[in-house]
Structure 1
Amino acid sequence: MGLPSVFRNIYDLDTLDTRFTNSTSVPYKAVIEARNDSAQIKDTPNKAQSRAQPSKWNTPEFYFYYLIFILAVPYMFWIPYTVSNPSDPRYPKYEHLLSDGWILGRKIDVSDAQYSFFRSNLPYMGLLLLLHPFARKVWNAVFPLPDIQRKSVVEQGRTRLQQRASFDYAFALLFLVVLHGVSAIKVLTILYVNYQLATTLPRKHVPAATWVFNVCTLFANELCNGYRLKDIAMRITPPLSPHGDAHALPPLVQWGAWLDGFGGLSPRWEVLFNFTILRLISFNLDYHWSFNARGSSPVEKKQLDPANLSERDRIAIPAEAAEFSFRNYVAYTIYAPLYLAGPIVTFNDFIAQSKHRSPTIETSRTILYAIRFLLVLLAMEVVLHFDYVNAMSLASPVWSDYTAAQLALLSYMNLHIIWLKLLLPWRLFRLWALLDGIDPPENMIRCVSNNFSTKSFWKAWHRSYNRWLIRYIYVPLGGSDFSSWRRSLRSVATFLLVFTFVALWHDIRLRLLIWGWLIVLFMMPEVIAGFVFPAHRYTVTQYRMLSCVGAVGNVLMMISANLVGFAVGLDGLQAIIYQILHDWSGVLFLITACAAVFVGIQVMFEIRESELRRGISLKC
């Protein structure tokens, strides 16, 4: 096997996640059997292949696009690199924010707090990634499964769940204490209250109580700074007498401050709790909906093999009544590989995979996935050694000192750094889960530079969260329907509610709320264009060109929205836009950049057509 073949396998969609290349409604064992039947594959083209257009890779049109790529892509990297050189006159303003690097004697920009935390703790997380599966093997050796070969598949699953959930429960408690110290009690208190809401309230009140409690918890965690014991003690302790030492603290306050000092490896537990909120809601609503199937087994009714369920069935078919126990609940909500940042797995799916290991977890694919993670990590390190865009933005830059090209490409590179710093922990934690026998969804399908549709972008970015939103908010609110203006207005209201929750879930900040509403606003041109320019009025080529023009506008709007939400804020974006458009040279650059984006989008179109020709339809 040559090096090109190895790289093809590493970057194959099937390596990233089998959900991208196979239907979620088909059990994976059936997919393997179909692959082994070459005649079936050859003689049965799927719907995606029937929609695919002939390849354009070897056409004169695309040879012209290749030429543009050869010129434009190096230029896109060169401009941020030159601005980041020590010879640049603005370099001394942010040099103090840089750290010693390891590539070609250059410094590295690890001024971003999120990535700096991840990078500094990467060796410890890597060690934990290996120790956790090893600890499970030790647990399984101490508490082995009884002889289950003669038992039914259902009983085998229950026995395996008992073994896995017992370990996950014990490890979760230890993990919480090590990670959050005394604050583990606060986390467990929230978990207990939420569990009581689901299991003791009248059924009709559970959804409303779940949403009210968890949204209020999001706000309370933020506003109360994680309920520091010193702050609580100061509120309930009477002030000292006038004759006492003015600087002395009451004993209860001192004791609270002392306890706060035992905050574990991550004292600010509330920052990481947002992902746990999603699992709390998932458990409560899955439990609430499970009553619809009580009295009959969907697995038996559909004559399904419980050890070979499709992903759709794992999510839709509720766990058994006895499996909604507090032990399983804690094992799920504090499952160590996915606790810090996800990806998100629903409770039903987690229990199903705990009972029967998913056939999608294969050693060869996991090894390739690990190599892919290391290559992404290397890419991030290279970018941060040569582009110091985050340090520049933290040093209160004077945007008028930069040219239009510099501002645009620094902003563009900033988005790539945001994408990479999110991608890396998600990939690492998913790799950890795969090694432990759980297959969560891959969060990132496309590179941030391989998106042209606002709607599709949100299907490909933080995909497990997108699927969670669809299951627990979007569908219960009625989904979307743009077949008429009245239904379209209702759909817009649904999107506003969804993205308001998304913004508040990320952080309680005005700029993120603006970001969420901008996303909805920027979806509208794409929806309206679908009404005004229906595909049946145009030839395939005409519609492709027309779609590409609209997609250029989409890309500019998505870049703007994400810069507001996660980079420079609304004021920073306004300053950047002004500097680009305040003279003719900036306008000329913008026109040239849009032409380059047009070419890039044509290539994106053809990448998706190539996937259709292989029978893959990601719809994003």
Structure 2
Amino acid sequence: MPSLLSWLRRLYSLDTLDTRFTTSASTSTQADARPPSAKDARANAVAQGAPAPLWRTPEFFVYYLFFITLVPLMFKTVADASKESHPIYSSYSDLLSPGWIPGRKVDNSDAQYASFRDNIPYLSLLVVAHPLLRRVYQSYTSRTGAETKPAHPSVTAAGDAQFEQRMRFDFGFGLVFITALNGISALKVLLILYINYRIGKSLPRSYVPAVTWIFNICILFANELCTGYPLERIATVLAPGSGSGEKRNLLVQWAQTLDSFGGIMPRWEVLFKVTVLRLISFNMDHHWSVDYSAASPIEKKQLDPAALSDRDRVKIPAEQAVFNMRNYIAYVLYSPLYLAGPILTFNDYVSQQRYTPPSLTRTRTLLYGVRFFLTLLCMELILHYIYAVAISKASPDWSLFTPGQLSMLAFFNLHIIWLKLLIPWRFFRLWALIDGIDPPENMVRCMSNNYSAFGFWRGWHRSFNRWIVRYIYVPLGGGGGGGRGARQPAAGKATPAPPQSSFSDKVQRIRNFLLVFTFVALWHDINLRLLMWGWLITLFVLPEVLGNMLFPARRWRSRPTAYRILCGVGSVGNVLMMMVANLVGFALGLDGLKDLLNSLTGSFSGAAYLVSCCVVLFVGVQVMFEIREDELRAGINLKC
């Protein structure tokens, strides 16, 4: 039993999820194996500032009773609302599909997740075939080039050889992959890639950032509005006029025939959004690389090139010769990360191609695979017993649900949204790990383990967040500086706060947030609902900023318990606002949310239930605080 608990503890440790969480960004990745006594100074400072644990206090034993009784009740409430005996079952039963659990149907009505779920067997074969093909290729090229290799190559020479091998394979496999995936539309993808490459390499340097951003944002809009540029539509516009009807018809028919060769995924533009981020990354990394001196930053800093820190891999630019067309195509079309990410910057990709990160071990990759399988199993059980997505799609009469069922349907709808993003991201990251590349983990915490708007967006789609910080937020001026704070009333405790600064810095911070989330909303999809979601997120960040200004942690150092309670109250409001914003953006829209809230608060029993929910959220927030304090005691500060 102790060994099983130890294994489970390791399985669900932050180190298994991503070593970036347990190692300082500026620390060499070889630091993974260091004992706790040898942690870097920053980790020790973090650990020393953490308070004594509260897990065994009377207060927390009361909280445990809440968890033991209420969590099973939450599942039962929403499962009861999904039973065939419920009055509205007939209104959404046609959205359900046959399930693999006897006697249960599965809610596979979400088109985005269904496209992934239905193709898991084929994707799994690809996960096995791709790394095997790479090893066969590397074995063949190693034999053919053995005569020209020195007997004892240096670390640099070995890294260069590995880089060439991997880049050649990724270039060739990427072209085959994109052709099989998109068919004739692969030519459209390659044309966009070529134009972006010429922008980054041929324009005067001062024009590159602006033109890169304008071009790629225009591509986002054009792909959406033109639905992938079908050749039939282009032929209809360009074909000869009415005087040449036969020629016109032949040209249109020929275009229709070509459109029929659309590959496995004819709608290539749907997932091209992630590719746009890589296009911007290549051009901007190349643009910034010119600012570095001719001398190698690695040699100048006397760093070990085979064990660079995560921050150094991202910030230290590759040499100019690496920014060529072959490497650009290999990077943009890297198959494990092409469809959905996680997002890896060009600098990081090049560094990992040359030297395999020490964080990659068979044991850690195996544990990550087990963790992915358990997450997939969890999603399957939820979809077989909780039909929250199908119910929301059917636009039912919400008055037929009790307040408890309404709130749990909304709550589990958000959990399904979280899981439907988490599972593909972890699947593709697992593929990359098997292939020898370590991209950032996209989801830091469970959706229910968030109480800060700032922290939530640092941990949700984390690689995209890191991309935004590097390519948008910092160039805009950031948020007026950084630094470690203590607790915030709205954000909760143990979340680093921005330093005390002038009012203008706060205004700049909010302005930057508005610009960032406007881009994020448009990047996700060009519709008003997601744009409103982005603006709601910015609006709901305001209480957190104001709370930090009105209740600075330094004034409460003599009253830590009172401040923790105050933080808890503010965090309950944060959780409710984040739920509202995400229900608007990804589930119900404004009209659906309005109906839901009217049904929930339109009666005394509904209002009473809402108050009881706030009490339960307060208990949950206190446990979240203590989880982060535990991480601080271990020298880990995730800032989310």
What is the CA–CA distance in structure 1 between the aligned matches of 2:4 and 2:326, rounded to whole Å?
A: 47
Instruction: Please say if residues 451 and 574 of structure 2, whose CA atoms lie closer than 8 Å, have aligned partners that are also in contact.
Output: yes
The equivalent residue for 2:437 is: 438
The equivalent residue for 1:399 is: 398
The equivalent residue for 2:615 is: 595
The equivalent residue for 1:535 is: 553
The equivalent residue for 1:565 is: 585
The equivalent residue for 1:17 is: 18
Instruction: Please say if residues 27 and 310 of structure 1, whose CA atoms lie closer than 8 Å, have aligned partners that are also in contact.
Output: yes
User: Identity of paired residues, percent?
Assistant: 55
What is the CA–CA distance in structure 2 between the aligned matches of 1:119 and 1:45, rounded to whole Å?
A: 40
The residue type paired with residue 500 of structure 1 is T
Describe the superposition over 1:175-198 as per-residue Cα deviations: whole angstroms up to 9, x where unpaired: 000000000000000000000000
1:41: how far off? 5.6
What is the CA–CA distance in structure 2 between the aligned matches of 1:270 and 1:350, rounded to whole Å?
A: 24
- Structure 1 window deviating more from structure 2 (137-146 vs 436-445): it is 137-146
The residue type paired with residue 7 of structure 1 is L
The equivalent residue for 1:614 is: 634
The residue type paired with residue 594 of structure 1 is C
1:488: how far off? 1.3
The equivalent residue for 1:549 is: 569
1:551/1:39 CA distance change after superposition, 3 Å: closer
What is the CA–CA distance in structure 2 between the aligned matches of 1:472 and 1:41, rounded to whole Å?
A: 31
1:249/1:416 CA distance change after superposition, 3 Å: farther
The equivalent residue for 2:483 is: none
TM-score by length of 1: 0.97
The equivalent residue for 1:217 is: 219
Instruction: Please say if residues 338 and 430 of structure 1, whose CA atoms lie closer than 8 Å, have aligned partners that are also in contact.
Output: yes
1:42: how far off? 12
1:169/1:285 CA distance change after superposition, 3 Å: same
1:100/1:522 CA distance change after superposition, 3 Å: same
Q: Does 1:496 align with 2:514?
A: yes
1:149/1:424 CA distance change after superposition, 3 Å: farther
The residue type paired with residue 19 of structure 1 is R
Instruction: Please say if residues 380 and 417 of structure 1, whose CA atoms lie closer than 8 Å, have aligned partners that are also in contact.
Output: yes
What is the CA–CA distance in structure 2 between the aligned matches of 1:196 and 1:241, rounded to whole Å?
A: 39
The equivalent residue for 2:251 is: 252
- Structure 1 window deviating more from structure 2 (119-128 vs 21-30): it is 21-30
Alignment partner of 1:158 out of 160, 163, 166: 160
Q: How does 1:226-237 map to 2 (within 5 A)?
A: 226-237=228-239
- Structure 1 window deviating more from structure 2 (280-289 vs 398-407): it is 398-407
The residue type paired with residue 133 of structure 1 is P
- Secondary structure of the corresponding residue to residue 457 of structure 2: helix
Describe the superposition over 1:187-219 as per-residue Cα deviations: whole angstroms up to 9, x where unpaired: 000000000000000001000010000000000
Instruction: Please say if residues 134 and 169 of structure 2, whose CA atoms lie closer than 8 Å, have aligned partners that are also in contact.
Output: yes
1:39: how far off? 5.4
- Secondary structure of the corresponding residue to residue 380 of structure 1: helix
1:45: how far off? 6.7
Alignment partner of 2:114 out of 113, 116, 135: 116
1:454/1:42 CA distance change after superposition, 3 Å: closer
The equivalent residue for 2:625 is: 605
The equivalent residue for 2:98 is: 100
- Structure 1 window deviating more from structure 2 (428-437 vs 484-493): it is 484-493
The residue type paired with residue 193 of structure 2 is L
What is the CA–CA distance in structure 2 between the aligned matches of 1:516 and 1:250, rounded to whole Å?
A: 45
The equivalent residue for 2:269 is: 270
1:407: how far off? 1.3
The equivalent residue for 1:309 is: 308
Alignment partner of 1:486 out of 466, 490, 504: 504
Instruction: Please say if residues 80 and 387 of structure 1, whose CA atoms lie closer than 8 Å, have aligned partners that are also in contact.
Output: yes
The residue type paired with residue 342 of structure 1 is G
- Secondary structure of the corresponding residue to residue 4 of structure 1: helix
What is the CA–CA distance in structure 1 between the aligned matches of 2:610 and 2:31, rounded to whole Å?
A: 51
Describe the superposition over 1:7-42 as per-residue Cα deviations: whole angstroms up to 9, x where unpaired: 11111110000011111111122442x32xx75469
Residue segments in structure 1 that go unaligned for 5+ positions in a row:
none
The residue type paired with residue 364 of structure 2 is R
Instruction: Please say if residues 172 and 335 of structure 1, whose CA atoms lie closer than 8 Å, have aligned partners that are also in contact.
Output: yes
TM-score by length of 2: 0.94
What is the CA–CA distance in structure 2 between the aligned matches of 1:297 and 1:229, rounded to whole Å?
A: 47
Q: Does 1:506 align with 2:506?
A: no
Describe the superposition over 1:155-187 as per-residue Cα deviations: whole angstroms up to 9, x where unpaired: 322221111000000000000000000000000
- Secondary structure of the corresponding residue to residue 542 of structure 1: helix
**Aligned pairs, how many?**
614
- Structure 1 window deviating more from structure 2 (458-467 vs 299-308): it is 299-308
Q: Does 1:291 align with 2:290?
A: yes
Instruction: Please say if residues 343 and 439 of structure 2, whose CA atoms lie closer than 8 Å, have aligned partners that are also in contact.
Output: yes
1:41/1:278 CA distance change after superposition, 3 Å: closer
What is the CA–CA distance in structure 2 between the aligned matches of 1:45 and 1:186, rounded to whole Å?
A: 49
- Structure 1 window deviating more from structure 2 (23-32 vs 53-62): it is 23-32
The equivalent residue for 1:28 is: 29
Residue segments in structure 2 that go unaligned for 5+ positions in a row:
481-499
The equivalent residue for 1:423 is: 422
1:493/1:107 CA distance change after superposition, 3 Å: same
1:583/1:30 CA distance change after superposition, 3 Å: closer
Query: Please, what is the CA RMSD of the aligned residues?
Result: 1.7
Alignment partner of 1:515 out of 529, 533, 536: 533
- Secondary structure of the corresponding residue to residue 291 of structure 2: helix
1:270/1:39 CA distance change after superposition, 3 Å: closer
The equivalent residue for 1:525 is: 543
What is the CA–CA distance in structure 2 between the aligned matches of 1:40 and 1:586, rounded to whole Å?
A: 54
The residue type paired with residue 542 of structure 2 is M
Alignment partner of 2:605 out of 585, 606, 619: 585
1:261/1:611 CA distance change after superposition, 3 Å: same
1:94/1:323 CA distance change after superposition, 3 Å: same
1:418: how far off? 0.3
The residue type paired with residue 160 of structure 2 is R
- Structure 1 window deviating more from structure 2 (189-198 vs 572-581): it is 572-581
What is the CA–CA distance in structure 2 between the aligned matches of 1:199 and 1:410, rounded to whole Å?
A: 51
1:275/1:394 CA distance change after superposition, 3 Å: same
What is the CA–CA distance in structure 1 between the aligned matches of 2:40 and 2:339, rounded to whole Å?
A: 44
- Secondary structure of the corresponding residue to residue 360 of structure 1: coil
The equivalent residue for 2:490 is: none
The residue type paired with residue 584 of structure 1 is F
The equivalent residue for 1:74 is: 72
Q: How does 1:132-147 map to 2 (within 5 A)?
A: 132-144=130-142, 146=146, 147=149
What is the CA–CA distance in structure 1 between the aligned matches of 2:550 and 2:176, rounded to whole Å?
A: 58
Q: How does 1:327-342 map to 2 (within 5 A)?
A: 327-342=326-341
- Secondary structure of the corresponding residue to residue 306 of structure 2: coil
The equivalent residue for 2:208 is: 206
- Secondary structure of the corresponding residue to residue 436 of structure 2: coil
What is the CA–CA distance in structure 2 between the aligned matches of 1:555 and 1:191, rounded to whole Å?
A: 41
The equivalent residue for 1:177 is: 179
Q: Does 1:49 align with 2:47?
A: yes
The equivalent residue for 2:385 is: 386
- Structure 1 window deviating more from structure 2 (330-339 vs 527-536): it is 527-536
1:205/1:183 CA distance change after superposition, 3 Å: same
